[in-house]
């Protein structure tokens, strides 16, 4: 009996090891009646530990966003307002160069609908999403909601209404509910950057000289030290409240996520490119951005009245008088913070104003510290010009975004890097005193601090130059366009290599894959070619939006040892499971394995992977002989180059036996 149990245990253990259909999200649908004709549809998902599902707000150039397709929609019901989704997290993805927006642990989508046709009692919805850990899975789930019984259930694709419904007609535009904690790490970073920006604003010609003037005012007006400290605190808090109010107004005007949703909008990016260029030119001395003098005069008259109200107006006077220097910094900060959505503009203004107010408060409390301050002089304008160059460089990021969205290829990676090299190279010359601008003071020498900063900028400029020849430039990852968005995948000077690799005609159905590896995207054509050259097949189940697939290609396949094997010893067949192109109608079918309707090329290859190999995750690699027999155990995401090399060689050795 023990032997029987032992054999059963081994059988199930083997079965578990071989069957790799992964389902890390468990979904539950529900429906709630709001009125006679309005209903709320809810989709709740429990996500396994360490996995995450991507939000509908994930940018198009990144992983696959969640998407709803409402079937049998026309003249039966309509979507009311915008759908909502639960709290998300945000994290920069250096592979795609975008911010990923995703859910962990739990996800909830809700959509309000209005029934138009009383005879239509059921609503069928398709939910497509991507879930990732070390591997990525693209899934579609189908649900049916009964408006009469208020019950919801998961159904098979074959049960979906045959009425043709296009995504253009039914795709839901989603807006997230305002959240108190959209992404803690993102808000902390915004606060930190804003805090540093506040200190930078202090070191400008419009603000720095006002510190001793303000402190002198409090010293003369306050009869006791305690009174002086109290007034200083009120003054500092007033500064913070004024700027936080500005951030609140921005949030209220545009909504918690309006600008976040516009972050890939062409006009949004072009307008802010122009704004930042104007701010930069102002800092460089072309002109000054100033608020009307009448505003400052009216505020000054109120400040002269004294008391708490007078101190508040003094803080407002500081904001107005210093606007020519702080305005461009605040504008840039608000552009960056508002594009993140949520309460980011408020957090940004809190950080900026805290740094701005802190020195005024401390020096008013301890006037003796004024003796330690450096004297005003030409160095203040140097700080202002330095900030102008930084704003000019940042402006081109927005122009690059617009070009990427339109895919015009007018502003490719090489052009972007050339502009940054020119900007930071000019800044280095300026810091070394080789270039002077309108408001610079004449000087026969430069300070040690200015020389040091010039050397740092020069080193950074030199670091950028190899990027023209294809260097990855990981230090600025996410700022320039991706390496694939360039005049040549090899950078400037790579044309000879490209020409050489193009000299050899490609077989039918083949194309240049990553690193110029010859690859097939059709299984039958790749198999036929492998038979003709008698080489083993590397079958690569992948996805356009698969993060770890790109990591494998960028960091493992690029290694000379791996690249040599992929170019010379195997035939690569890459099957993209998220290819959205529809199959011809006569080639569409319902999967016997999953019951899902196979409508697209990606559906076909996903079903092929599940049916034949009992796996649904990507990346997923298999080495086959020309009879389609596996030569070793399949593998997934393998970032260890030596381990992946050994796996490849073991399959190739089996083929040669």
Distances (CA, A) of 283 to 2, 90, 207, 330, 521: 83, 32, 14, 13, 53
CB 368 within 8 A of CB 212: no
Give all domains of the chain, ordered by start, each with its CATH number. Answer: 24-170 (2.60.40.1250), 184-378 (no CATH), 412-502 (no CATH), 504-656 (3.40.30.10)
CA 369 → CA 212, 216, 235, 358, distances in Å?
A: 10, 12, 18, 13
Quick check: 558 and 515 in contact, CB under 8 A?
yes
State the number of CA atoms in the 13 A half-sphere of 626 facing the CB.
9
How open is the CA angle 174-177-183, to the nearest 5 degrees?
Answer: 100
Peptide bond into 287 cis (omega under 30): no
Distance CA 124, CA 550 (A): 34
> What is the model's pLDDT at position 116?
84
Residue 271 to residue 11: CA distance in whole angstroms: 64
**Cα–chain center distance at 441:** 42
Contact 352, 185 (CB under 8 A): no
pLDDT tens readout for residues 255-265: 444 444 445 56
SS3 388: helix
- CA 286, distance to chain mean position in Å, is 34
> Among candidates 575, 559, 483, which has minimal Cα distance to 522?
575
Taking the C-alpha atoms of residue 644 and residue 573, their distance in angstroms, rounded to an integer, is 17
Q: Cβ neighbours of residue 508 under 8 Å, at least 6 residues apart?
A: 525, 529
Long-range contacts of residues 19-22, Cβ cutoff 8 Å, at least 24 apart: 19/614, 20/613, 20/614, 20/615, 20/616, 20/617, 21/610, 21/614, 21/615, 21/616, 22/135, 22/137, 22/615, 22/616, 22/617
Say what the pLDDT of residue 467 is. Answer: 86
Distance in angstroms (rounded) separating the CA atoms of residues 529 and 272: 51
Contact 463, 425 (CB under 8 A): no
Which stretches of 289-412 are DSSP H helices? 293-303, 307-321, 323-338, 344-365, 378-406
End-to-end CA gap in the chain:
41
> Which stretches of the chain score pLDDT less than 50?
1-19, 163-183, 255-262, 304, 495-503
598 exposed, middle or buried (CB, 10 Å; 0-12, 13-18, 19+)?
Answer: buried
């Amino acid at each position: 009996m023990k032997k029987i149990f032992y054999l059963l245990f081994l059988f199930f253990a083997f079965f578990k090891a071989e069957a790799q259909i992964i389902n890390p999200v468990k979904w539950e649908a529900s429906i709630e009646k709001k009125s006679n004709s309005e209903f709320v549809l809810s989709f709740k998902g429990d996500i396994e530990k360490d996995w995450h599902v991507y939000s509908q707000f994930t940018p198009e150039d990144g992983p696959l966003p969640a998407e709803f397709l409402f079937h049998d929609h026309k003249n039966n019901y309509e979507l009311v307002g915008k759908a909502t989704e639960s709290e998300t997290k945000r994290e920069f993805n250096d592979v795609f160069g975008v911010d990923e927006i995703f859910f962990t642990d739990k996800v909830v989508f809700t959509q309000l609908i209005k029934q138009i046709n009383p005879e239509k009692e059921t609503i069928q919805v398709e939910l497509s999403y991507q879930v990732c850990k070390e591997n990525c899975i693209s899934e579609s789930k189908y649900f049916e909601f009964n408006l009469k019984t208020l019950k919801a259930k998961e159904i098979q694709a074959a049960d979906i209404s045959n009425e043709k419904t296009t995504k253009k007609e039914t795709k839901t535009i989603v807006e997230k509910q305002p959240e108190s904690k959209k992404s803690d790490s993102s808000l902390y970073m915004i606060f930190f950057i804003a805090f540093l920006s506040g200190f930078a604003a202090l070191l400008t010609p419009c603000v720095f000289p006002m510190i001793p003037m303000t402190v002198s005012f409090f010293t003369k007006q306050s009869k006791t030290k305690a009174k002086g400290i109290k007034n200083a605190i009120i003054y500092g808090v007033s500064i913070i409240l004024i700027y936080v109010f500005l951030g609140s107004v921005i949030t209220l005007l545009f909504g918690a996520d309006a600008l976040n949703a516009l972050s890939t909008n062409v006009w949004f990016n072009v307008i802010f490119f122009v704004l930042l260029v104007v701010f930069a030119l102002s800092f460089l001395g072309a002109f000054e951005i100033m608020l009307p003098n009448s505003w400052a005069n009216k505020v000054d008259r109120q400040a002269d009245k004294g008391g708490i109200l007078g101190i508040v107006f003094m803080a407002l006077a500081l904001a107005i008088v210093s606007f020519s220097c702080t305005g461009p910094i605040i504008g840039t900060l608000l552009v960056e913070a508002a594009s993140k959505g949520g309460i980011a503009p408020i957090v940004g203004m809190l950080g900026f104003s805290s740094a701005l107010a802190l020195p005024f408060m401390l020096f008013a409390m301890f006037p003796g510290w004024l003796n330690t301050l450096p004297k005003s002089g030409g160095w203040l304008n140097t700080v202002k010009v330095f900030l102008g160059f930084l704003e000019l460089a940042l402006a081109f990021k927005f122009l690059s975004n617009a070009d990427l969205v339109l895919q015009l290829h007018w502003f490719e990676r090489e052009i972007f890097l050339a502009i940054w090299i020119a900007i930071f190279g000019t800044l280095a010359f300026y810091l070394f005193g080789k270039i002077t601008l309108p408001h610079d003071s004449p000087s026969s020498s430069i300070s040690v601090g200015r020389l040091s900063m010039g050397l740092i900028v020069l080193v950074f400029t030199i670091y950028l130059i190899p990027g023209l020849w294809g260097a990855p430039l990981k230090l600025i990852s996410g700022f320039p366009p991706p390496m694939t968005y360039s005049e040549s995948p090899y950078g400037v000077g790579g044309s000879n290599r490209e020409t050489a690799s193009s000299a050899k005609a490609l077989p039918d159905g083949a194309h240049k894959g990553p690193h110029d590896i010859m690859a097939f995207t059709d299984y039958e054509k790749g198999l036929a070619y492998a038979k003709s050259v008698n080489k083993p097949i590397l079958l690569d189940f992948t996805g356009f939006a698969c993060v770890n697939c790109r990591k494998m290609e960028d960091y493992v396949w690029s290694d000379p040892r791996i690249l040599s094997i992929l170019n010379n010893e195997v035939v690569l067949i890459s099957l993209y499971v998220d290819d959205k192109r529809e199959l011809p109608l006569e080639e569409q079918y319902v999967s016997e394995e999953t019951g899902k309707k196979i409508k697209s090329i990606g559906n076909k290859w996903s079903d092929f992977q599940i049916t034949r190999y009992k796996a649904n995750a990507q990346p997923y690699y298999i080495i086959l002989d020309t009879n389609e027999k596996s030569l070793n155990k399949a593998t997934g995401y393998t970032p260890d180059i030596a381990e992946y090399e050994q796996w490849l060689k073991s399959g190739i050795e089996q083929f040669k036996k």
